[in-house]
Amino acid sequence: MMTERPHRRLALALSGSLLLLFSHAMADSHEDKGAGIDEDALVRRVAEEVLKKLEDSDFLQRQIDLGIQRYVAKQREAQARAEGQRGRAANRRAESVRRVAPDRDHIYGSADARISLIEYSDFECPYCKRFHPTAKQAVDAYGGKVNWVYRHFPLGFHNPLAQKEAEASECAAEIGGNDGFWRYADALYARTRSNGKGFPLDGLVPLAAELGLDQARFSDCFESERHAERVQEDFREGQAIGISGTPGNILLDNETGRVRVVSGAVPLARLRAEIDKLISDPE
């Protein structure tokens, strides 16, 4: 209703102009009875008057602005629908994520937590490096309700180092248990410069010794490459459920089986908001 009033005012003004032009034309025709009305001239005069009225008002600019606003709104709606569809498709694929198994997975926090943050990660990924402390802060904030499950997803363009770092972390877990894995993973993320060349390959064994792990056993494990297939198992699992980049995060409600995909190095506030939605939304 707000936009109809200026339109009505403009229509009345244009109608008045047309009537005035026609009256002038009729008067001219009476003055020169021998000549007929020049219809072409009349049309030109009417067109000129209409254009002048439009130029003198801001009607055209308002219509252009409204058109732009409508176009932008439609584009945003289309984008939101597309994102919603992609999100629903991603969640459907992620529903088949392998459930958490304490005898197989590396778990930070309570193994009995209702919500699991399952991260498919790459030790050479700069975004994973950024997200690493965020995930830990989120778990610590929920007092046993949330845990963090680390799975490997070494990206091809970060190999061979990312793959070898993942294997080294498994050797740390073999020797030092769950705590050994997390101490080694924390140290790797703290020290790597990322992007495939962020940590010296020949420094992986000395790092284990620095963290108090048996260097000889670690070296034997690492040189044997016996955990290479375990790392690739994680990678293939991630691919099967739609993980394509890192950190690939899936929030899993272990009570209901519901999931939420939260891709990327999201800030703590966003991560907590997604966790809260999963906990509070009964659907």
CATH at residue 154 = 3.40.30.10
Give me the chain's average pLDDT, please: 86
What's the pLDDT at 45?
74
Give domain status of residue 212, yes or no.
Answer: yes
186 or 38, which is more confident: 186
Pair 275, 178 in one domain: yes
Percent of the chain whose predicted confidence (pLDDT) is above 70:
75
Residue 33 has pLDDT above 70, yes or no: no
Pair 76, 144 in one domain: no
The rounded distance, in Å, linking the Cα atoms of 233 and 229 is 6
Pair 141, 271 in one domain: yes
What's the pLDDT at 255?
94
- If pLDDT is split at 50, 70 and 90, which confidence band does 68 have? confident
Pair 110, 65 in one domain: no
The predicted model gives 135-144 an average pLDDT of 97
Pair 262, 123 in one domain: yes
pTM for the whole thing? 0.71
Give domain status of residue 263, yes or no.
Answer: yes
Percent of the chain whose predicted confidence (pLDDT) is above 90:
66
Give domain status of residue 101, yes or no.
Answer: no
SS3 state at 108? strand
What's the pLDDT at 51?
67
Give domain status of residue 99, yes or no.
Answer: no
Residue 88 has pLDDT above 80, yes or no: no
- Of the three residues 36, 60, 94, the one that is the final residue of a domain is 94
Which residue reads 């990678």 in tokens? 235
Give domain status of residue 100, yes or no.
Answer: no
The rounded distance, in Å, linking the Cα atoms of 84 and 80 is 6
What are the φ and ψ backbone dihedral angles of 150, each rounded to 5 degrees? -100, 125
Pair 138, 276 in one domain: yes
Closest of 226, 229, 227, 244 to residue 157, by C-alpha: 244
Pair 11, 64 in one domain: yes
What is the amino acid identity at position 283?
E
Give domain status of residue 59, yes or no.
Answer: yes
C-alpha R_g of the chain: 34
SS3 state at 267? coil
Residue 114 has pLDDT above 80, yes or no: yes
Pair 49, 119 in one domain: no
Pair 90, 110 in one domain: no
Pair 66, 189 in one domain: no
21 or 220, which is more confident: 220
Closest of 90, 99, 135, 101 to residue 260, by C-alpha: 90
For the chain, what is the domain count? Answer: 2
What's the pLDDT at 159?
98
What range defines the domain where residue 120 resides?
Answer: 106-280
Pair 138, 167 in one domain: yes
